[in-house]
Structure 1
Amino acid sequence: MLNRLTHRQLEAFRAVIETGKVTMAADVLNTTQPSISRMIADLETVTDFKLFERRGRQLVPTSEALALYEEVERSFVGLTEISRVIDDIRDFRRGSLLIAGMPALALKFLPDVIAAFIKLEPGITVSLRARSSQAVLRHLSSQQFDLGFAALVNDHPAVKRSPIFTAPMRAVLPIGHPLGQKERLEPADFHEQPFVVLGAEIDTRSETDIFFAIGNARPRIVAEAQLSASICELVANGAGISIVEPVTAANFAAAGRIIARPLHPEQPFRYDLLVPALREPSRVAMRFLELIEAHFETLLGPGSL
């Protein structure tokens, strides 16, 4: 690679990063616009990854380009070192991933995936922020985060939202509870049962209320919590029964702390993937998403998107 990488290519790359436009970069380097475009294209051929995305008249650097630029700034005359960095970025030996996730995923699901990911790609640094779904949306809108995982009913113009996995919610019961003998629970099974309810400000609370209304069931509310994990802890300690999203239910059931059962009729729960709208996901982010989808299917079985 080194015999194809030139100092002039890096000068053009640096100028485009700093000016945001090919025409301005050409002025800085006292050359022509086609010359700058050709050198950027040559550098993309050398690196084997995309460096810029066009947004109107502006060129927006990719995540890979920003990682390369940091090294160019530190050692602009060290072509050997820069060539090594290019290899590291392309081969996933260098990079970072900043993730925001709703607590239902950020407390165990995402840490499990991150642990598996860094074993496969030890050169990548991963940061995780546990936030409410609305806060995850705000974080992604800043364009500073790479990936977000939430459950939302609203959108933001600076964020692309798409379903990543859908699975039915689960009834959760203390170990040994008589309803655990049933293969699935219906609304009438919850009538007058001690029930740990999800906070009223959470969107799925209204869906659970509709579920009970189908069978004219009136559970006896004994506690309220905002997080699925908190509800499952209460259930595990015998406070009552409840209904939670499937990932947390599956994790607690797998640990032998609760019984999880399907509902009839089903209550689908959708997990959303959020990415910044102003830039495409990096190669590192795409590699991470492959593990995310595989872990969903391992934990919950094939889902509907």
Structure 2
Amino acid sequence: MSTATGLDSDLVVVLVAALWGAATGALLPRAAYRFSAPSGEAWRERCPGGHPVRGWLGRARCGQCAAGESGHSGEFGRSEQSGRSGQPGHSGESGHSGESHRPGRSGREPGQPRRSADARYGPRTAPLALVTALVCAALAAATGTRPEVAVWLLLAPVGVLLAAVDLKVRRLPDPLTLPLAGAALVLLGLAALVPEHAGEWSTALLGALVLGAGYLVLFLVNPAGMGFGDVKLALAAGAALGWYGWPTLMLGTFAGFLLGALYGGALLVARRADRKTAIPFGPFLVAGAFLGILAGAYAA
């Protein structure tokens, strides 16, 4: 009976985690768009049509564009900087100023009503919700009812958001990376006070310092291959991996580099990049940490 009860409780945790991931992932598209700003801007203030983007959570869809209202391209073209990320990046955004009202790209002259199909300005909701739900469900399945599962579920949506932003503009913004590291250490410290936890806060702290220092060395040796945003993200990854001990930290770190190497090799084979092409490493750092946490949680 006790075994059946334990299985039932674990299943409930996984289902709740999946629902949590789907709900939080559905709120990420607008933040993903806003943080996918060109280098020199902290975040985007306007949609590609020139209308102000209000709020951070929810769908990336502009109601004014859907209604056919014209925006103000002059205001949209200005850099509305509220802070600067420490990570150098590349824009690569189709909504960059100077092109949003150029005839020929959408077949619409300036001043003509915008079609409703142009109202979406960021990533789609369904993929982000699905990925976040799967990540949260996997973390819950590995961790069970131990108190640190709450920490992983709170950190996971931010990790998905960071990966999405880095894939888009090769940039990891400070408003996400530094608070994530602090939150990881604070939340794990609280989890360490709850009975039946399976990790150690001291190794989480040391893991953050060690992995952050390691990435800093890589950045100083080869700034073109490792961004400073990766260094700051490594603090959070080191804290999460270090919670389960040094073997987990090494495994998660190795997994991140392996995934990045496989991705780069695939691009070379497909002739979509050469040896000098820079790739966003943040998604692989996050994926490696995710795999390491899974392994550490199952082994705990």
TM-score scaled by length of structure 1: 0.25
TM-score scaled by length of structure 2: 0.25
**Higher radius of gyration, 1 or 2:** 1
Greater strand percent: which structure? Answer: 1
Greater helix percent: which structure? Answer: 2
